[in-house]
Amino acid sequence: MQYRTLGSTGLKVSVVGIGTWQFGGEWGKAFAQDEVDAMFARGHELGLNLIDTAECYGDHLSEQLIGKAIEGKRDQWILATKFGHKFHGPFDRTDPRKPTDVLEQLKESLKALRTDHVDLLQYHSWGDDQFFDQDVLATLLKAKDEGLFRFLGNSVANNGNVKQITASQKMQIEAIQIIYNRLDRKPEEEVFAVCKQQNLGVLARVPLASGFLSGKYKPG
Host H or E run for residue 179: strand 175-179
**Residues in Cβ contact with 136 at an 8 Å cutoff, skipping those fewer than 6 apart:** 97, 98, 99, 102, 130
Kindly report the number of other CB atoms within 10 A of residue 118's CB atom. Answer: 23
57 catalytically annotated: yes
Burial class (CB in 10 A: 0-12, 13-18, 19+), 93: middle
Check 3, 57, 123, 180 and give the catalytic one: 57
- CA distances 160 to 116, 172, 187, Å, are 34, 20, 7
Active-site annotation, residues = 57
